[in-house]
Structure 1
Amino acid sequence: MQKAFAIAFSLLVLVQSLKIGVEDISNLNVLLNHAEFHQNMYGDSFFQFLAEHYGDAVDNHPSDHKDHENLPFKHHHQTCVHSSIAFTFETSSFDLDQQLFIDIPFNFFYEESSSLFEKLSVFQPPKMA
């Protein structure tokens, strides 16, 4: 079951990264009909049709057909924001200087004000448990 979910989510990410939507799939019929129109009118093969509408020859192809706005995979989202992130790899070197141990003289001479060997019974642990 986990493999099925992993495969399903992987396919979902793939489809979303290719920007294929339900609208594009429903317009595949328009693509095939327009390709057939180009084959009948101009004698173009399917690959020439793809080159004229999606490839390098887009600028040379006249766009006065009524089916051009309904072709799939030609949508332009004006609300999308594509930001690029540049990763730079810099080498950082840290020089760790080993400093010599400095012996600090002992200057704390605390002595109890009264030295009783026996403490008060309040501060002794309980005798019976």
Structure 2
Amino acid sequence: MNKIVTIGISLLILLQGANVHFKDLVELGELIEHYQFHNEEYGDNFMVFVSKHYGELKASHNEKHQEEQKEHEKLPFQHQTQCAQPLVFVLGGDNLIYSRSEFPLEAKGNFHYEMSYSHIWGDDPFQPPKHT
């Protein structure tokens, strides 16, 4: 059972990394049916079919065959994804370090530790912080 769960999670991570959604797997039947239509109607092989629907011939194919637009919307892998990664650049960071500010640059500890005479703490690794 553990192996099945491990394999399932691994496949899920692999498919999500390749941006394949569950909806795309369900729509593979539509892809096969539309490919068979193109093969019978236009004599396209699979590479030409992929180029017409996902590659460089997509724009011209959509212009010429407006009547197939409903079938094209049902095909898998039609979703758009956007990835936003904000980048921050700090130029002249030296000015920030040497500037005068109201906040002290050196933080002082706000705690102290006094050894109690009880044996609650002992020599265990869980000791309260010490001010040195």
Measured against the shorter chain, the TM-score band is 0.5 to 0.7
Aligned with 1:61: secondary structure?
A: helix
Distance 1:12 1:52 in 2: 29
More helix by share: 2
Give the fraction of aligned pairs with identical amino acids, expressed as a percent.
35
- Find the counterpart in structure 2 of residue 31 from structure 1: 31
| 1:76 corresponding residue in structure 2 | 80
Q: Spell out, residue by residue over 1:13-63, the C-alpha distance to the aligned partner (whole angstroms, 9 max, x if none).
A: 221122222211111111011011111111110110001101121112125
SS of 2:61's equivalent?
coil
**1:49-128 pair list within 5 angstroms:** 49-62=49-62, 63-64=65-66, 65=68, 66-76=70-80, 82-86=83-87
> Match of 2:47, as an amino acid?
F
Flag the 1:4–1:39 CA change in 2: closer, same or farther, 3 A: closer
Measured in 2, the distance between the counterparts of 1:12 and 1:87 equals 32
**Structure 2: stretches of 5+ with no match in the other structure:** 90-132
| Corresponding residue number in structure 2 for 1:45 | 45
1:87 to partner: Cα distance: 8.8
Question: Which structure is higher in RCO with an 8 Å CA cutoff and minimum separation 6?
Answer: 1
Q: 2 CA distance for matches of 1:40 and 1:5?
A: 42
Distance 2:27 2:6 in 1: 29
Q: Which amino acid aligns with 1:70?
A: K
Distance 2:15 2:41 in 1: 34
Q: Distance in 1 between matches of 2:3 and 2:87?
A: 34
Paired residue for 2:13? 13
Q: Partners of 1:35 and 1:2 in 2: how far apart?
A: 39
Could you tell me how far apart the structure 1 residues matched to 2:87 and 2:14 are? 23
Distance (whole Å) between structure 2 residues aligned to residue 49 and residue 73 of structure 1: 14
TM-score by length of 2: 0.53
